[in-house]
Chains A and B, each alone.
Chain A
């Protein structure tokens, strides 16, 4: 039996298909035409960062106009994100060209895209993450059967937390089971839950680690720096979409010039930098930090252009051990040639590659 409607419905489906494909094609071609021969001009760089103290370099670079100046005739468009997942999604949706981000999401994106999505082009911040626990917790063993928090499953601190618990013989599962239950949640919620006694601790970046101590009455059980031989590990680095790096290496160089200058400023004028960062955080989140919190947080951070390559490998190994990733291979994730050229031009020591 052949119904008269069949042909028409097939035709409608095919038309829909063609329309969809057309839309898809338009989406991909609309902004592909800005190609660079020699020097880029009029290119828009979309740069992401988070309203965290660990992103102080980015906040200062944005608020003081350092990035915009370094980009010259190219345009800077700033975008702020809540966390690494949001920034990665923006990169994937081709809504972002470069971002400040932690090691966890960067490793994930690099591995899942088989190296096609991003390159790390510079370091920005080291340190500034701690495992803060309730007063009555004195060792890892005291945490057995309790719940602790991290900012987001698979993020930099989440990986560190799982690896540290594992090194103490405590098992965790990604779904929040095991000897110690890990319940990833927003840092603001973590603070509330910690104050209310619902969680026994949290592995969080600054300023939250200091806020848990100052406002939540907690104590630092692990300062993450102590887990690394050099006492340094990468907290925030600068990541560029590989497509953008290939198309506009000169714009990336300008961005890195800005990054180096911003870090110089932060290191040379820490009092002013703190004020700028606090004002920047207030602008993005509507709430500023107490002076005691920003001072405390600042002490735990180091602002360096060195991406501290060895610590990234440890993060990748930890992620694999925690069952968050199938591989710990991060070969090719770095492109530090531009950074080293910039550093050399400024008469600064270059950074070590992998």
Chain B
């Protein structure tokens, strides 16, 4: 890995220096006014100052994480060394990490992520529709706003007994709880975003001729995007928690999901496998948060000029 990234980063800054440096000298070739060229030159200077190489950037993002992982593993190993619990109950990090290499985890991840995607997509649809409807129709909001917030504060696991009575131990029971756990956050995120659109933007939009649906599409919704994404992120966290709770509680015929493996290994006293499954759950959480929601958030910030 390090070799790879060094290979990628090395040529980049020099390339950029070369092209930016060439620009002022090759005057005739660049179209546009002098002012434009000067501004471009200034931009290039700013970029040169602020932008460390890709490798440096990757390293500065990585090292605190690596140290944190190291400290975590060390703490874990120190608990092992203290002989607080027998090795088979609390195995060393190496045993547990080694147990991550189990074929069944791959299948389990596929089953669970499939459920997560379906559940989150449903929650996204329901939550967005509800949020939009409530932001458009004031009486709706007055009627259901408090109710939706109430739902959001309700731990979704309390829905499980009812879900199992309604749907028995089926996919339906799990999806029901995932949606009811995630949708309120998504709806509330959208509502909060619409509420917090600066009036100046709305007025400017009106002045430029945007009315009704166009005002919504071009001004209000884009302006409420960050809050909506925050709602999505929270919705995902709730959906993921509900899903894990559901899989622990409901065994659905023939599906060895992540939650099922956790419960199975608990019953079979296979604690090393159980803990490696927990690590997998942590990894999935981090990956989804960093790579999916992190990317979306960064894109939005970049579009708003908050990130270069």
Please give, as numbers and ranges, the residues of chain A lying within 8 Å of B86 by CB-CB distance: 92, 113, 116-117
Please tell me if the beta carbons of A24 and B269 are within 8 angstroms of each other in the complex.
no
Please tell me if the beta carbons of A17 and B266 are within 8 angstroms of each other in the complex.
no
Q: How far is the CB of A192 from chain B (nearest CB, A)?
A: 11
Q: Complex: how many Å from CA A154 to CA B168? A: 23
Q: Does B97 contact A (CB under 8 A)?
A: no
Please tell me if the beta carbons of A176 and B168 are within 8 angstroms of each other in the complex.
no
Please tell me if the beta carbons of B88 and A153 are within 8 angstroms of each other in the complex.
no
Q: Does A40 contact B (CB under 8 A)?
A: no
Please tell me if the beta carbons of B169 and A183 are within 8 angstroms of each other in the complex.
yes
Q: Complex: how many Å from CA A21 to CA B84? A: 9
A63-113 with Cβ < 8 A to chain B = 85, 88-89, 92, 94, 105, 108-109, 112-113
Q: A17-B78, A92-B89, A153-B268 are in contact. Are A27 and B84 (CB under 8 A)?
A: yes
Q: Does A181 contact B (CB under 8 A)?
A: yes
Please tell me if the beta carbons of A85 and B270 are within 8 angstroms of each other in the complex.
no
Q: How far is the CB of A203 from chain B (nearest CB, A)?
A: 16
Please give, as numbers and ranges, the residues of chain A lying within 8 Å of B88 by CB-CB distance: 112-114, 116-117
Q: A152-B267, A325-B268 are in contact. Are A20 and B252 (CB under 8 A)?
A: no
Q: How far is the CB of A291 from chain B (nearest CB, A)?
A: 32
Please tell me if the beta carbons of A176 and B251 are within 8 angstroms of each other in the complex.
yes
Q: How far is the CB of A315 from chain B (nearest CB, A)?
A: 14
Q: How far is the CB of B108 from chain A (nearest CB, A)?
A: 9
Q: How far is the CB of A155 from chain B (nearest CB, A)?
A: 8
Q: Does A173 contact B (CB under 8 A)?
A: yes
Please tell me if the beta carbons of B251 and A183 are within 8 angstroms of each other in the complex.
yes
Q: Complex: how many Å from CA A92 to CA B257? A: 26
A21-51 with Cβ < 8 A to chain B = 21, 24-25, 27-28
Q: Does A147 contact B (CB under 8 A)?
A: yes
- Produce 1/0 per residue, A310-352, CB < 8 A to B: 0000000000000011000000000000000000000000000
Please tell me if the beta carbons of B251 and A17 are within 8 angstroms of each other in the complex.
no
Q: Does A169 contact B (CB under 8 A)?
A: no
Please give, as numbers and ranges, the residues of chain B lying within 8 Å of A184 by CB-CB distance: 251
- Produce 1/0 per residue, B222-252, CB < 8 A to A: 0000000000000000000000000000011
Q: Does A178 contact B (CB under 8 A)?
A: yes
Please give, as numbers and ranges, the residues of chain B lying within 8 Å of A167 by CB-CB distance: none
Please give, as numbers and ranges, the residues of chain A lying within 8 Å of B263 by CB-CB distance: 153
Please give, as numbers and ranges, the residues of chain A lying within 8 Å of B169 by CB-CB distance: 183
Number of B residues near A (Cβ < 8 Å) is 30
B79 partner, pick from A24, A88, A89, A92, beta carbons under 8 A: A24
Interface size class of A (residues with CB under 8 A): 35 or more
Please tell me if the beta carbons of B79 and A176 are within 8 angstroms of each other in the complex.
no
Q: How far is the CB of B111 from chain A (nearest CB, A)?
A: 9
Which residue in chain B gives the minimum CB-CB distance to A325? B268
Q: Does B255 contact A (CB under 8 A)?
A: yes
Best-buried of B78, B83, B84 by chain A (most CB within 10 Å): B84
Which residue in chain A gives the minimum CB-CB distance to B107? A175
Q: How far is the CB of A31 from chain B (nearest CB, A)?
A: 13
A110-141 with Cβ < 8 A to chain B = 112-114, 116-117
Which residue in chain A gives the minimum CB-CB distance to B255? A175
- Produce 1/0 per residue, B248-283, CB < 8 A to A: 000111111100100110111111000000000000
Please tell me if the beta carbons of B82 and A25 are within 8 angstroms of each other in the complex.
yes
Which residue in chain B gives the minimum CB-CB distance to A94? B85
Q: Does A275 contact B (CB under 8 A)?
A: no
Using CB atoms and an 8 Å cutoff, list the residues of chain A in contact with chain B. 13, 17, 20-21, 24-25, 27-28, 85, 88-89, 92, 94, 105, 108-109, 112-114, 116-117, 147, 152-155, 173-178, 181, 183-184, 198, 324-325
Some 23 contacts from A to B, beta carbons below 8 A apart, are A17-B78, A21-B79, A24-B82, A85-B267, A108-B270, A112-B268, A112-B269, A113-B86, A113-B88, A113-B89, A114-B88, A116-B88, A147-B253, A153-B267, A155-B267, A173-B256, A175-B253, A176-B252, A177-B255, A181-B254, A183-B253, A184-B251, A324-B268
* Complex A-B, nearest 3 residue pairs according to Cβ-Cβ distance, in ascending order: A177-B254, A175-B256, A24-B84
Using CB atoms and an 8 Å cutoff, list the residues of chain B in contact with chain A. 71, 74-75, 78-79, 82-86, 88-89, 168-169, 251-257, 260, 263-264, 266-271
